[in-house]
Amino acid sequence: MASEIHPSAQIDPGARIGANVRIGAFTVIGADVEIGDGTWIGSHCSVTGTTRIGRDNRIVGHAAIGGDPQDKKYHGEHTTLEIGDRNTIREFVTINRGTGDGGSITRIGDDNWLLAYVHIAHDCIVGNGCVFSNNATLAGHVVVGDQVILSGFAGVHQFCRIGAHAFIGMGAFVNGDVPPFLMVAQEKYARARGINSEGLKRRGFDATRIAAIKRAYRTLYMGETKLDEAKVELAEIAAGSEDVRAFLDFIERGERPLLR
């Protein structure tokens, strides 16, 4: 089947476009780009440099693929990016080419899911079947095995390796090698640090309302009171405060453990 290219897309004559490729509006494809059969590229994307993309990939709008490495040691030498088959690359993903002294290639395997705002830096090697959640980031020269999951906002330091089937938890910052099969999580999750007093004042909450909310906060988060006991005390405060009633209702409707 013939490829379907939007009239506003800019395709360099030197680019090699396979069969049944779709390219959306205002997307730019450079001269040294090769796109395999059946790949779909959305609007406002850029695919530049010496970049080879395989078959049946789906690249959603505003992705920047094959750009220069973000490395001061790069001085324009010829480097490449290779992306395999059947990958899903979502909004605003950035994937950079390699560097001359770092192997000269960035390589992405097959069947990966790269969700919005993922960044894969220069000279990274990513295996097959991985899932990188929103805002996950690889610094340069990272090697990731097959079937790895990076949760949202996870970050991996340069030159680290992550073994196959590892799971990196939300917001974890990895600065060493992770062996295969491991689960890695940050040491501490977020904890309550008081109420948003300044924000409440800006939204017109008066001193009486804020005082009731502070009392509710102290009941729930300060001291050693168990949750069931704290909810009894909150119900008493809520009798005179609609804000605390909303606070308590929120807790009662929860399906996940309360951040406490």
The residue with tokens 């080879």 is: 52
Please say if 123 is a catalytic residue: yes
User: What is the Cα–Cα distance from 243 to 204, expressed in whole angstroms?
Assistant: 13
Rounded to a whole number of angstroms, the CA Rg of the chain reads 25
User: What is the Cα–Cα distance from 256 to 260, expressed in whole angstroms?
Assistant: 12
Please say if 122 is a catalytic residue: yes
Which of 67, 122, 127, 145 is catalytic? The answer is: 122
185-209 b/e (C-beta count within 10 Å ≥ 16 → b): ebeeeeeeeebeeeebeeeebeeee
Of 139, 113, 109, 140, give the one whose Cα is nearest residue 127.
109
User: What is the Cα–Cα distance from 108 to 127, expressed in whole angstroms?
Assistant: 6
Residue 177, SS3?
coil
User: What is the Cα–Cα distance from 257 to 77, expressed in whole angstroms?
Assistant: 52
Which of 98, 102, 123, 141 is catalytic? The answer is: 123
The residue with tokens 């102290």 is: 218
Residue 167, SS3?
strand
- Is residue 195 within 8 A of residue 226, CB to CB? The reply is no
* Residues classed as catalytic: 122-123, 140
